[in-house]
Structure 1
Amino acid sequence: MFLIILLLVASCVCEQPCPDNESVDISDVRSLEDGTIVQDGVVFPPNYVYAKNVSGEIRRFGCLCKVKNCFRKCCPMGSVFHERICTEMPDFDVIKNEGLNLHYSSKFRKKVEMKDRTFDMLYGKPCAAIYLEDNTWYVQEDGELYVDIPSNIPPVIIYKPDKYCIDTFVNEKNETQLNALICFVTKPDNNNYALSSSCMLISCFFILLTVAVYAFLPELRNLHGMVLMAYLLSFFVGFLFFATMQILILRKEISQEECTVLTFIIYFSLLSAFFWLNVMCYDIWWTFSGKRATSGRHGSVMKRFCCYAGYAFGVPTVLTVILGALEFSDLPMQHPLLPKLRLQGCFLYGTSKLIYLYGPIVVLCVANLIFFTLTAIKIAQIKRDTEMLRSKDSSTHDQDRKDTQRMNLSCSRFSLYVKLFAVMGVNWILEVVSSFYPEADFFWQFSDAYNVLVGLIIFIIFVCKKKTFKLIKKRIQYLKDGGISRGQTTTSTSTRTLSTQSRDDVQMSTIKNTTAAA
């Protein structure tokens, strides 16, 4: 995981700070002592300047859109589109003569003349494959093109300056019209939906199978097992509705209202899953901290589980309510806290996804790492103390041996949590990487394929073990015998006594196996 992060950071550092079509040539301008370059009143810091070999000559370029709001004009100033080519016709250039009609908020528009502009212009078509936009559009104050398509999902598409250009079009009658050219998307986003939804449904199968095994075996329905089942069911709901949403988008059988409802369900489910994972990490740290016993009465276990459930479901509920309140509030469209669920299609996107989904997940992952670190330190301390006691001929040796056996059981559980955290950590690292590189099909396909592995790996970690297989075999035999375990001749023994005895046998067997392995 750390290697992946380091590789990503290294790749970002090695990349040039902006695409070529968002930069201007500043080779003829001398730099200041600190490396800053000033051209026509625009200041380019050193981190937004890069060099490139152009026709055998090293030229310097500055990232214009990084330091100033910029808009893209298809033809040079004074030239317009006439007969589908850029033609020098200054009198017909609407942008030069009349300015640009900018959209400054969701409430009003403002005409900005070229002489009073606070932005700069880029020139030239951003891509080879380009088409004429015939929907309602306008340029925002941040330089992005807002296109309104009421019949589409999403109903609004926003293009950055590297995906569009605007200019004046002149027809045979010398009539002018300001219009926008949009880059063709080489591969629509929903092309990945078929693979992604299939992968998530397969993962859902293995997740549900893991939950069924834990629900089938009474020995696994302790506090640890109930927390794990709640975690897996939350992920199951999130993956299931996410796959359903993508399938409906592919079939074009979903409305914007349905998209919004599904988004809230998926958002709540995914957050709940990560809060349950946080509960697991806290619970194992609490166990090793010595503040509570490793076992307890059924009532105390249920009370603790209810407290965990209140936290793992309560906080996501509050966050979901906040998300909905902000979405349906009167915040202006350009406000950074506006989720824009109804404008950006199904689920969170861009800055909203970073704030409302990745933000809480990062905080929880940091907290989990802290719990894991503290637990690992405590385990090392207990093992060191145990080794010291073993070297002494103490009268409390038997008690120390029992404590060591209980610790080995907790260590095994801790190892499972670490594996689970690593599996989900890789999944969300891939998700973040693919969101930063939306056009990189390799990341998307690898991330979608990994969604299959999530459910399968969880199934292997928690079910595909000799201990679990023995428990399943014993449980099936118990049910075949009509609820009476093999070797018991008394029919008056209650089911509760049998379950308790079976659970004790499993614990003693696990203790012996763990001790033998040590």
Structure 2
Amino acid sequence: MPYTYDVNNLLECIQIQLEANEFILSDEHSNIYVESVKRYLKINEFVRNKNGSVRICLNSYIPLTYELSKSKPNLIDKILTVTTYICMITSLLFLLATFVIYCILCALRTVPGKNIMCFTFSLFFAQLLLVIRSSITEDTVVCSWIGGLIHYFWISAFTWTNVCCFHMFKLFVKQSLVHGDVSADRKLFLKYCVISFTFPLVPVCANLVVAETELDSLLFGYGGSKCFLKSPLALIITFISPIILQVLFNVIMFSITFHFIRNTPKVQSSKERNDLSIFFKLFILTGVSWVFVIVDGFFEVSPFTFLATIISGSLGMFIFISYICHKKVFRLLSHRLRSSNKTKTYLSTSKTHVNSNSKTSNIEKAKSCITEI
């Protein structure tokens, strides 16, 4: 006749000790009530010590503590959530406005301008996915997908800052760019796109490949309670490390370029120098914001958390102010609006000549772009 043995879970789990004032022992000594987690534990779920304390499994204590704290958010958490939503949504609106204005104005769509457009595009979706992630409460397939996309778009945004730095380096130091060569500019921008939208796949795919191996204890992959990278190790290896390398690359490129500009009087008042100055401010804000966010991630909610949230949420507004709030852009927008009104007026008075009007409209649009340039 086979025998069945009931093995106590306490033999296999990590244990914690509760003092006598942290639980209530029943009269029959058959169970205890843990006040902090509002839970009864049966006799096979705890062991009594001689000094009156008890030992229980860690996994029977932490999950309930987490759920209890999650179900009763305090005032600071609520304020932080509202602050995050306001900052992110405001940033998204400014990023969208910046991208649309670049699409409207032909004169802004130079190679540096297109680089800024792509940086804005990646940053927009990175922040949008963060907002969407905050509304997901369960570790599902959707949660995992969102975590992977957040990882991809943030690395992509930083890669575009590398592209912008490298382009400025080539423009000033190497002086290898030919002005006015449309074909060369198109090929160069295509190379930038391939690099900036392909490189982020490397850490993302590496994380997924490791997650599919036998190294389950390392907790690679996406999902978890935050719908992002599952462990601090994965965060450091596949997210923080690439960003640190990208920031170092930007620092080196900027240092060389600024040194060259300072020793070259002919570019002291150039338009490109102004573009470099604006992008340097953007790079500083981007880098500083993520330093704040990463450092804050190792501590509890504090006033520093609010500062990190506000700085990271102000990126969209800073981009809009730096690249759109200029007299030149306002002048181009005004000219574009007048040209559009003239075209509409002409079309409305020439209804009997549809084909002719269509050609005239195209000519007007072409003239608009030429005039802007």
Scaled by the length of structure 2, the TM-score of the pair is 0.76
Q: Tell me the CA shift for residue 375 of structure 1.
A: 0.3
Of 201, 208, 211 in structure 1, the residue corresponding to residue 99 of structure 2 is 211
Of 282, 301, 306 in structure 2, the residue corresponding to residue 445 of structure 1 is 306
In structure 1, the partner of 2:108 is 220
1:502 aligns with 2:371: yes
What letter is aligned with 1:358? I
Q: Tell me the CA shift for residue 193 of structure 1.
A: 4.0
**Percent of aligned pairs sharing the same letter:** 23
Instruction: Please state which structure has a larger fraction of its residues in helix.
Output: 2
In structure 2, the partner of 1:346 is 227
CA deviation string 1:359-388 (max 9, x = no partner): 1111000000000001011101211xx4xx
In structure 2, the partner of 1:436 is 298
Q: Tell me the CA shift for residue 261 of structure 1.
A: 0.7
1:360 aligns with 2:242: yes
Q: Could you tell me whether the CA contact under 8 Å between 2:140 and 2:223 is conserved in 1?
A: yes
Q: Cα gap change, 1:440/1:296 in structure 2, threshold over 3 Å: closer, same or farther?
A: same
Of 470, 478, 481 in structure 1, the residue corresponding to residue 342 of structure 2 is 481
Q: Tell me the CA shift for residue 255 of structure 1.
A: 4.4
Q: Could you tell me whether the CA contact under 8 Å between 2:343 and 2:364 is conserved in 1?
A: no
Distance in 1 (CA, whole Å) between partners of 2:259 and 2:176 is 18
**Count of residue correspondences:** 322
What letter is aligned with 1:415? S
In structure 2, the partner of 1:325 is 209
CA RMSD, 1 decimal: 3.5
Instruction: Please state which structure has a larger fraction of its residues in strand.
Output: 1
Q: Cα gap change, 1:83/1:302 in structure 2, threshold over 3 Å: closer, same or farther?
A: closer
Q: Cα gap change, 1:467/1:133 in structure 2, threshold over 3 Å: closer, same or farther?
A: farther
1:371 aligns with 2:253: yes
Distance in 2 (CA, whole Å) between partners of 1:224 and 1:168 is 68
What letter is aligned with 1:131? V
Of 155, 162, 173 in structure 2, the residue corresponding to residue 278 of structure 1 is 162
Higher-RCO chain (CA-CA 8 Å, sequence separation at least 6): 2
Distance in 1 (CA, whole Å) between partners of 2:110 and 2:286 is 23
Distance in 1 (CA, whole Å) between partners of 2:211 and 2:96 is 33
Of 271, 284, 288 in structure 2, the residue corresponding to residue 409 of structure 1 is 271
1:468 aligns with 2:329: yes
User: Residue 263 of structure 2: SS of its match in structure 1?
Assistant: helix
Q: Tell me the CA shift for residue 493 of structure 1.
A: 9.9
Distance in 1 (CA, whole Å) between partners of 2:22 and 2:185 is 78
Unaligned runs of at least 5 residues, structure 2? 1-13, 26-33, 346-359
Of 288, 296, 300 in structure 2, the residue corresponding to residue 426 of structure 1 is 288
Q: Cα gap change, 1:457/1:209 in structure 2, threshold over 3 Å: closer, same or farther?
A: same
Q: Tell me the CA shift for residue 446 of structure 1.
A: 2.2
In structure 1, the partner of 2:186 is 302
What letter is aligned with 1:458? I
What letter is aligned with 1:222? T
1:242 aligns with 2:130: yes
What letter is aligned with 1:432? I
User: Residue 248 of structure 1: SS of its match in structure 2?
Assistant: coil
CA deviation string 1:223-250 (max 9, x = no partner): 111111111010111111110110233x
1:131 aligns with 2:74: no
Q: Tell me the CA shift for residue 290 of structure 1.
A: 3.7
Of 168, 179, 199 in structure 1, the residue corresponding to residue 47 of structure 2 is 168
User: Residue 339 of structure 1: SS of its match in structure 2?
Assistant: coil
Q: Could you tell me whether the CA contact under 8 Å between 2:147 and 2:223 is conserved in 1?
A: no
- Tell me which structure has the larger Cα radius of gyration: 1
Q: Could you tell me whether the CA contact under 8 Å between 2:136 and 2:143 is conserved in 1?
A: no
Q: Cα gap change, 1:459/1:169 in structure 2, threshold over 3 Å: closer, same or farther?
A: farther
Q: Could you tell me whether the CA contact under 8 Å between 1:206 and 1:456 is conserved in 2?
A: yes
User: Residue 74 of structure 1: SS of its match in structure 2?
Assistant: strand
Distance in 2 (CA, whole Å) between partners of 1:318 and 1:199 is 30
Q: Tell me the CA shift for residue 495 of structure 1.
A: 4.8
Q: Tell me the CA shift for residue 352 of structure 1.
A: 2.0
Q: Could you tell me whether the CA contact under 8 Å between 1:200 and 1:452 is conserved in 2?
A: yes
User: Residue 215 of structure 2: SS of its match in structure 1?
Assistant: coil
What letter is aligned with 1:473? S
Distance in 2 (CA, whole Å) between partners of 1:422 and 1:208 is 21
Distance in 1 (CA, whole Å) between partners of 2:372 and 2:177 is 18
Q: Tell me the CA shift for residue 131 of structure 1.
A: 2.8
Scaled by the length of structure 1, the TM-score of the pair is 0.56
Distance in 1 (CA, whole Å) between partners of 2:240 and 2:367 is 46
Q: Cα gap change, 1:442/1:375 in structure 2, threshold over 3 Å: closer, same or farther?
A: same
CA deviation string 1:180-202 (max 9, x = no partner): 44495696487544442342122
In structure 1, the partner of 2:17 is 74
Q: Cα gap change, 1:418/1:177 in structure 2, threshold over 3 Å: closer, same or farther?
A: closer
Unaligned runs of at least 5 residues, structure 1? 1-70, 87-127, 136-165, 171-175, 387-403, 485-490, 505-518
In structure 2, the partner of 1:84 is 23
User: Residue 296 of structure 1: SS of its match in structure 2?
Assistant: coil
Q: Tell me the CA shift for residue 207 of structure 1.
A: 0.5
